[in-house]
């Protein structure tokens, strides 16, 4: 006897499924999280689409803001990168508390410093069986390898035991061209699900000659160099049947910098705490101001860097960790306070 189909199934259920699949990416995909050390968002405007074609492509095809924020108290490198990977502020009882900006001292790590375990986006991804990787261009990023290795990483209590080493693959190389070559060859063969890339060029040029936003300065040439590297990265993504159309880029910076002082440590300076936040990939609303699609959860801070106690927060570099996880359809980082509701949206993603 033939099966009888309930007409309700056809009327409601199948169209509902179709709608659901139409609005979601095909699968969880992969995330490449990029920090452009010392990148001032206004430098992209100065270079224009001809001088910075990749950044302008990311703007055209993605959702972004040139008015994101660093941590409230610190505008230096390692504390802010730790905000990104932990989605916490720096200071206070809820902060990650890492204020040092040098290579970690012998025996030091995030957890020992805070006197309690500091979980990261790498923990959540790895504990859920996702492959993770870090490509960094300053030796101080060994902090994350040291904090999340097989002895210091937390036990994996989520489903299957994926081990305590939360970052499967770590490459540290000051030569960012060589670093990109490593990343591209790994992406072509065995891409991680969650990749973090750090590019130091702008910061190094800024410290040497100042954050001078005029054509041909070392700072602007460094940004052009980074633009070229990111162009290679996108070409690599698009050349890969595995990655094409199924990979998100989330890009921000740890701080900006000043023309006169050749530094960025003064956290009350607008040029230091203003940073970019770019997103690109499936479901990301093209050519869109990120604040315009996040009105219920975030507010453009104008010229300020509001305290964490203010109810409507700016988009911060600290949003990145939990955003990357939500794109991978993973829960937030334990103990995180920034984007812990994972309510930052990019349009139809996450
Ligand atoms: Zn920096």
202 CA distance to ligand 1 middle (Å): 9
154 CA distance to ligand 1 middle (Å): 27
203 CA distance to ligand 1 middle (Å): 6
Backbone angles phi, psi at 65, to 5 degrees: -140, 145
Domain 26-327 grouped into CATH 3.40.50.1220: no
349 CA distance to ligand 1 middle (Å): 29
- Whole-prediction pTM value? 0.92
139 CA distance to ligand 1 middle (Å): 12
Q: Which residue has the tokens 């941590």?
A: 71
What residue spans define the domains of the chain? 26-327
Q: What pLDDT does residue 12 have?
A: 53
222 CA distance to ligand 1 middle (Å): 14
Alpha carbons 38 and 134: distance in angstroms, whole number: 19
Cis ω for the linkage preceding 227 (within 30 of 0): no
* Closest C-alpha among 43, 79, 69 to residue 226: 43
Residue 136 has which token pair? 């960094």
Contact 165, 150 (CB under 8 A): yes
98 CA distance to ligand 1 middle (Å): 14
Q: What pLDDT does residue 21 have?
A: 47
Q: What pLDDT does residue 28 have?
A: 73
Q: What would you measure as the largest C-alpha separation in the chain, in angstroms?
A: 85
Contact 348, 319 (CB under 8 A): no
134 CA distance to ligand 1 middle (Å): 16
Using CB atoms within 10 A of its CB, is residue 59 exposed (0-12), middle (13-18) or buried (19+)? buried
Q: What pLDDT does residue 27 have?
A: 57
Strand-pair partners of 135: 171, 197
201 CA distance to ligand 1 middle (Å): 10
38 CA distance to ligand 1 middle (Å): 5
Residues in the chain with pLDDT < 70? 1-27
Distance from the first to the final alpha carbon of the chain: 45
Give whole-number Cα distances, 148 to 61, 135, 153, 168, 294, in Å. Answer: 34, 15, 4, 10, 32
Q: What pLDDT does residue 6 have?
A: 53
71 CA distance to ligand 1 middle (Å): 13
Give whole-number Cα distances, 94 to 87, 157, 193, 275, in Å. Answer: 10, 23, 28, 23
Alpha carbons 52 and 50: distance in angstroms, whole number: 6
């Amino acid at each position: 006897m033939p099966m009888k189909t309930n007409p309700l199934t056809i009327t409601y259920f199948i169209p509902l499924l179709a709608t659901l699949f139409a609005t979601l990416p095909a699968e969880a995909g992969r995330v490449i999280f990029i920090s452009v050390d010392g990148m001032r968002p206004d430098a992209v405007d100065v270079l224009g689409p001809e001088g910075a074609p990749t950044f302008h492509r990311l703007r055209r095809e993605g959702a972004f803001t040139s008015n994101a924020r660093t941590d409230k108290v610190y505008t230096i490198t390692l504390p802010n990168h730790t905000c990104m990977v932990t989605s916490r502020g720096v200071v206070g009882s809820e902060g990650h508390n890492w204020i040092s900006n040098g290579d970690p001292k012998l025996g030091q790590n995030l957890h020992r410093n805070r006197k309690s375990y500091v979980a990261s986006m790498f923990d959540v991804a790895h504990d859920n069986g996702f492959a993770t990787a870090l490509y960094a261009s300053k030796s101080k990023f060994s902090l994350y390898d040291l904090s999340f290795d097989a002895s210091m990483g937390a036990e994996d209590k989520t489903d299957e035991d994926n081990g305590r080493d939360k970052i499967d693959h770590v490459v540290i190389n000051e030569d960012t061209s060589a670093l990109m070559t490593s990343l591209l060859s790994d992406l072509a063969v065995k891409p991680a699900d969650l990749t973090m890339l750090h590019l130091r060029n702008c910061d190094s040029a800024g410290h040497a000659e100042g954050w001078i936003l005029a054509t041909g300065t070392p700072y602007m040439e460094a940004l052009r160099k980074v633009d070229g590297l990111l162009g290679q990265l996108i070409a690599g993504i698009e050349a890969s049947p595995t990655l094409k159309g199924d990979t998100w880029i989330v890009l921000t910076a740890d701080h900006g910098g000043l023309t006169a002082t050749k530094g960025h440590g003064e956290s009350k300076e607008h040029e230091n705490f203003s940073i970019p936040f770019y997103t690109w990939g499936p479901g990301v609303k093209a050519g869109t101001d990120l604040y315009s699609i996040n009105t219920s959860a975030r507010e453009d801070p104008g010229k300020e860097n509001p305290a964490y106690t203010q109810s409507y927060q700016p988009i911060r570099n600290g949003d990145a960790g939990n955003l990357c996880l939500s794109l991978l359809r993973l829960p937030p980082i334990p103990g995180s306070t920034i984007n812990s509701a994972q309510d930052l949206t990019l349009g139809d993603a996450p």
